[in-house]
Amino acid sequence: MRILVHDYSGHPFQAQLSRELARRGHDVVHSTCTAYVSGKGNLAGDAPGLRFVTIGNGTALKKEAYVRRLSQETLLGFELARQVRREKPDVAMLSNLPVPVLVVAAAVLRRMGVPWVLWHQDVTAVALRNFAAADVAPAMGIAAKVFGAGEKWAARRSSAIVVIAESFVRIHEEWGTAGKVSVIPNWAPLDEIVPVDRANAWSTGHGLNGVRTVLYSGTLGLKHNPVLLVRLAERLRESGTPVRLVVVNDGPAVPVLREAAAARGVELTLLPFQPYERLPQVLGSGDVLVVLLAADAGGFSVPSKTLSYLCAGRPVLGLMPADNLAAGLLRQAGSAVFPPEESSIEDAAAWVREVLSEPGLAESLGKESRALAEREFALEDCASRFEDILRSVRHTAR
């Protein structure tokens, strides 16, 4: 099959899937968007049957400039449509697309007669509905209805849908699309993100050897309440366990973190997203790795950073809803999950303090994180399921 996989975000495991599909003899074009700023996977190294392409001119999206962002994303949708026309795939799979990009792509694929699979990573309609309820922005209620209708319209026109958690099925029941839904949880590339020594070249270069660190690496929006990271470090210092807070991120949370850390006297190392090949050393430099996820994202977002953290073999603290799929993984690994609220910081700090004071516990938690990843993230079975879905979609469309 000639397959076009578009992962708007450029995450590691989607690229890993494309490599595996190419290894199995398929002709795969893996497309990503340069305008979306985040940690990226290994998006280089064309191989037999695999080619990497992009959309976007490199100009970063202004996530908080809603009108401008809508215009940018609509134009990106048309750019993706032109890419589909050039590549002429037998089947396509779309992942992580903003609703304007998704709607344009769905319309063009339908017009071309190309069957496609929606790899549903986040339910945008639910997120916007929650923002509207929280009065995050005055126009969010209207946006929630419009974008929700667009997302539903696109889902109905897909040939098949892959969701990452059972909780997504309820939404597709409401939309009338549950009959074509398969559940395949996300994973992380075990062979690319591996445990490394705590003292490594990256930690040495950033002066982190011999320093107790609490580390966050990945996308971080204001809705996640990034100040909780600063409050955690502050509470650890107040209780006699000073730490260096290390945050690897680009985006609107950066000035918020910088200002909060300065106001509270928290030691902060703030760095932009790092090259993917350095990610094992980045994660290896954290004594405890932290995941933040807003309360309203509980059932409909699974932070991929959690999966990378587990591969890295480190103790992980989750400040996230207890019903999130990633929270369940952390509990299986023996790590800790607390609600993403100010009232949880005392208990979260106590857990981190225990881990930092007991090297044997930290080592045990790290080993269990990696062991869980090795049990849950085997690529072979996931790739076979995706391959079966893509073949079925293509066969049905003939």
pLDDT in tens, 197-249: 999 999 999 999 999 999 999 888 766 789 999 999 999 999 999 999 999 99
User: How much is the mean pLDDT over the chain?
Assistant: 89
Residue whose pair of structure tokens reads 């366990």 in the numeric block = 241
Confidence of residue 301 (pLDDT cuts 50, 70, 90): low
User: Band of the pLDDT at 398, cuts 50, 70, 90?
Assistant: low
Q: Do 225 and 372 share a domain, yes or no?
A: yes
Residue 44: pLDDT band with limits 50, 70, 90: confident
What is the band of 298 on the pLDDT scale with cuts at 50, 70, 90?
low
- Pair (162, 61) in one structural domain: yes
194 within a domain of the structure (yes/no): no
Write down the pLDDT at residue 139.
Answer: 58
Together in a domain, 180 and 270 = no
Q: Do both 234 and 356 map to the same domain?
A: yes
Are residues 120 and 255 part of one domain?
Answer: no
Query: What does the pLDDT read at residue 267?
Result: 95
Residues 14 and 149 in one domain: yes
Q: What is the DSSP string of 165-190?
A: STHHHHHHHHHT-GGGEEE------T
Asked if residue 333 and residue 238 are part of one domain, the reply reads yes
Domain that residue 259 falls in: 201-376
Statement to judge: residues 38 and 141 lie in one domain: yes
Q: Which of 62, 58, 42 is nearest to 50 (CA)?
A: 42
- Same domain, yes or no: 88 and 136: yes
Q: How do residues 9-39 score in pLDDT, each as one tens digit?
A: 999 999 999 999 999 999 999 999 988 878 7
Q: Who's near 277: CB < 8 A, 6+ residues apart?
A: 42
Does residue 290 contact residue 319 with C-beta atoms inside 8 Å? yes
Same structural domain, 210 and 174: no
Phi-psi region of 210 (alpha: psi -120 to 50; beta: other; left: phi over 0): left
Domain-embedded: residue 292: yes
Query: Which helix H or strand E contains 367, and what residues bound it?
Result: helix 359-376
Q: What's the structural domain count of the chain?
A: 2
Q: What average pLDDT score do residues 66-74 get?
A: 79
- Whether 287 maps to a domain, the answer reads yes
Question: Do residues 170 and 27 share a domain?
Answer: yes
Which of 41-45, 126-130, 378-382, 387-391 bottoms out in mean pLDDT, i.e. has the lowest?
A: 126-130
Q: Report the pLDDT value the prediction gives residue 243, as an integer from 0 to 100.
A: 96
Q: pLDDT tens for residues 78-116?
A: 999 999 999 999 999 999 999 999 999 999 999 999 999
Decide if 224 is inside a domain. yes
The pLDDT score that the predictor gives to residue 297 is 64
Question: pTM of the full predicted structure?
Answer: 0.83
The predicted pLDDT at position 370 comes to: 96
Answer whether residue 386 is part of any domain.
yes
- The answer to whether residue 298 sits within a structural domain is yes
Residue 195 lies in a domain: no
The CATH number of the domain where 247 resides is what?
Answer: 3.40.50.2000
193 falls within a domain:
no
Per-residue model confidence as pLDDT tens digits over 341-368: 999 999 999 999 999 999 999 999 999 9
* pLDDT per position as a tens digit, 163-204: 998 888 999 999 999 999 999 988 888 999 999 999 999 999
Q: Buried b / exposed e across 240-255, counting CB within 10 Å, b at 16+?
A: ebebbbbbbbebebbe
pLDDT, tens digit, 9 for 90 and up, residues 48-65: 999 999 998 767 666 655
E-strand ranges in the chain read 2-7, 27-33, 50-55, 91-95, 116-120, 160-163, 181-183, 213-217, 244-248, 268-271, 288-292, 316-319, 336-338
Clarify whether residues 105 and 234 are in a common domain: no
